[in-house]
Chains A and B, each alone.
Chain A
């Protein structure tokens, strides 16, 4: 979740087409790519086969099962904990997306376009915290949050993960590129600061907000260590933590694989709908 390095500046200049490959090598390249694609997709396919195999029957690997069934998936969806975990993951991710987009775009705007005492010091401090791995501060953070009664609560789960320097920097960089005249003109017209933020900053940063939103969603949906230590019952347990609980209790691989498959559905949906944006924004900004 943390990015601890700065990405080298993208090279300027127009992209030129790569030279056309020579005939002979083309087939070899596609063959290699096909092998890579198969190795990448293999685990997904294996997961689906096991998830859809009849329960109780030994899952024979590397052989197609005699029949496929949705019973395991249905059973998982009806299991008591699973729905709650899914709901918790949704709350964790959705609330975080909304608050991080709001707070980081506000902070990014101030860092980019306002002069105030201590601005550079604060910005530098935010940057410095990127160098501290989350796991190193895990213990004091846990003690702090649980001392204030945050263990096994939603605020304890969500609030500590909202301090996100990557989001602030991304917003700052983007807003730096917006022309100052826009903001000056609005001020001359007598617009209030909140109005400037809401009617100029937010609409103009929509593309980057959308990208950031997708990433924050994925980070939180897939997050594990913090939810693992802070949630102690099904009331606040997220899906990733729930899956590990299930893994210690459940001995049927068909059930486990079904749960894993269902847990990844939102990520895969995001992937299929927004793949182009994800790919481009990683290439452009190094967002991780």
Chain B
């Protein structure tokens, strides 16, 4: 009876543990090791020390991809946080048909980024939906996918459309947890709607907002599917992100060692964001 627990416990964990050791832990350690080799498609490799990192530092593509990733994050995160916060506030302020609107706004979340990419590629086409509407207003067509300064905002809109429903639901749950009596008391005291939002709702919503901010920041580093479908990293590498670099180095040029080096940078960036988040959330909870 005493020994039964440890053995069965281990046996029950074993299938998942084996999966994790082989397909998560091993590749995680492997990416660090591979980044020190010149591993290629043939499977031949030599230890090359920090050569890949030296190459990375001198690779204009890499710096450009880092810049593109950060610019995309700077556009996407405020956009998606504002849209999801706005929709959550709106949904929370109505009663009649709330469920219907919540469902509609959440709908794109269940589809794939590839699906979103194909539809929006057409919407952005030179003779697509947006330009069709613009033409009615006698505005010259805009080539969203061919202009470097427009491609990242255009991609951010697609990701926002597809994904904001998730953050909206998290924020809505946070809003519902705010006791109505607080807002009622403030209203009785004569606080305006803006004052109530700024001094009561938003401070109480902080944990949920912070969670959304981190989740969306990390997901903005990981954007890939829509770029693959819609732009292929173009025009002129204007949407060539870190992940796209990993993919292209690995699966177009088959330079696994060098691609792993790009992977290490992504790992580092996401790790820093996660650690910052853990620190802050830890403080909130204590």
Does B127 sit at the interface, judged by CB under 8 A?
yes
In the complex, A228→B227 CA distance in Å? 14
Contact B263 A135 (CB under 8 A): yes
Inside 8 A of B63's CB, which chain A residues have their CB?
none
Q: Which of B105, B110, B114 contacts A268 (CB 8 A)?
A: B110
In the complex, A193→B11 CA distance in Å? 10
- Chain A residue, CB-CB nearest to B175: A18
Inside 8 A of B34's CB, which chain A residues have their CB?
139-140, 143
In the complex, A225→B266 CA distance in Å? 16
Contact A260 B229 (CB under 8 A): no
Does B153 sit at the interface, judged by CB under 8 A?
no
Contact B211 A7 (CB under 8 A): yes
Does B132 sit at the interface, judged by CB under 8 A?
yes
In the complex, A42→B161 CA distance in Å? 11
B86 to chain A, nearest CB (A): 8
Contact B26 A46 (CB under 8 A): no
Does A202 sit at the interface, judged by CB under 8 A?
no
Contact B93 A193 (CB under 8 A): no
A95 to chain B, nearest CB (A): 14
Contact B12 A33 (CB under 8 A): no
Within 8 A of A (CB), among B94-151: 94-95, 101-108, 110-116, 118-123, 125, 127-133, 135-136
Interface of chain A: mostly helix, strand, loop or mixed: helix
Does B23 sit at the interface, judged by CB under 8 A?
yes
In the complex, A20→B187 CA distance in Å? 11
Q: Which of B39, B119, B173 contacts A43 (CB 8 A)?
A: B119
Contact B229 A122 (CB under 8 A): no
Asked whether A160 and B23 contact (CB < 8 A) given A29-B94, A111-B13, the answer is yes
Contact B31 A137 (CB under 8 A): yes
Contact A107 B27 (CB under 8 A): no
Contact A222 B113 (CB under 8 A): yes
Contact B114 A138 (CB under 8 A): no
Contact A197 B211 (CB under 8 A): no
In the complex, A11→B176 CA distance in Å? 10
Most B Cβ at <10 Å: residue of A132, A244, A283 = A132
**What range describes how many residues of A lie at the interface?**
35 or more
Asked whether A267 and B110 contact (CB < 8 A) given A140-B31, A225-B224, the answer is yes
Does A136 sit at the interface, judged by CB under 8 A?
yes
Q: Which of B39, B120, B123, B187 contacts A19 (CB 8 A)?
A: B187
Does A110 sit at the interface, judged by CB under 8 A?
yes
Contact A282 B31 (CB under 8 A): no
Inside 8 A of A253's CB, which chain B residues have their CB?
122, 125
Does A69 sit at the interface, judged by CB under 8 A?
no
Contact A129 B122 (CB under 8 A): no
Inside 8 A of A286's CB, which chain B residues have their CB?
170, 211
B138 to chain A, nearest CB (A): 13
In the complex, A92→B214 CA distance in Å? 30
Inside 8 A of B238's CB, which chain A residues have their CB?
none
B261 to chain A, nearest CB (A): 10
Q: Which of A5, A103, A260, A268 contacts B15 (CB 8 A)?
A: A103
A247 to chain B, nearest CB (A): 6
A62 to chain B, nearest CB (A): 4
Inside 8 A of B208's CB, which chain A residues have their CB?
8
B71 to chain A, nearest CB (A): 19
Q: Which of B10, B112, B259, B277 contacts A224 (CB 8 A)?
A: B112
Contact B119 A260 (CB under 8 A): yes
Does B25 sit at the interface, judged by CB under 8 A?
yes
Q: Which of A41, A136, A143, A224 contacts B256 (CB 8 A)?
A: A143
Q: Which of A13, A132, A257 contacts B122 (CB 8 A)?
A: A257
Inside 8 A of A160's CB, which chain B residues have their CB?
23
- Chain B residue, CB-CB nearest to A201: B12
- Chain A residue, CB-CB nearest to B87: A36
Does B203 sit at the interface, judged by CB under 8 A?
no
Within 8 A of A (CB), among B43-76: 43
Contact B207 A36 (CB under 8 A): no
- Chain A residue, CB-CB nearest to B33: A140
Contact A114 B8 (CB under 8 A): yes
Asked whether A141 and B6 contact (CB < 8 A) given A37-B104, A133-B222, A135-B266, the answer is no
In the complex, A10→B108 CA distance in Å? 25
Apart from A16-B180, A40-B161, 10 more pairs, CB < 8 Å: A43-B119, A107-B13, A107-B16, A137-B31, A137-B263, A140-B26, A144-B30, A193-B11, A267-B110, A268-B111
* Interface CB pairs A-B, < 8 A, 26: A5-B281, A6-B277, A15-B177, A18-B93, A18-B180, A42-B129, A46-B129, A60-B132, A115-B5, A117-B10, A125-B25, A129-B24, A136-B270, A139-B246, A140-B34, A144-B26, A159-B23, A163-B16, A222-B112, A222-B114, A225-B224, A228-B228, A247-B229, A257-B122, A267-B110, A267-B112
User: 4 tightest CB-CB pairs across the interface, nearest first?
Assistant: A61-B132, A114-B9, A140-B30, A116-B9
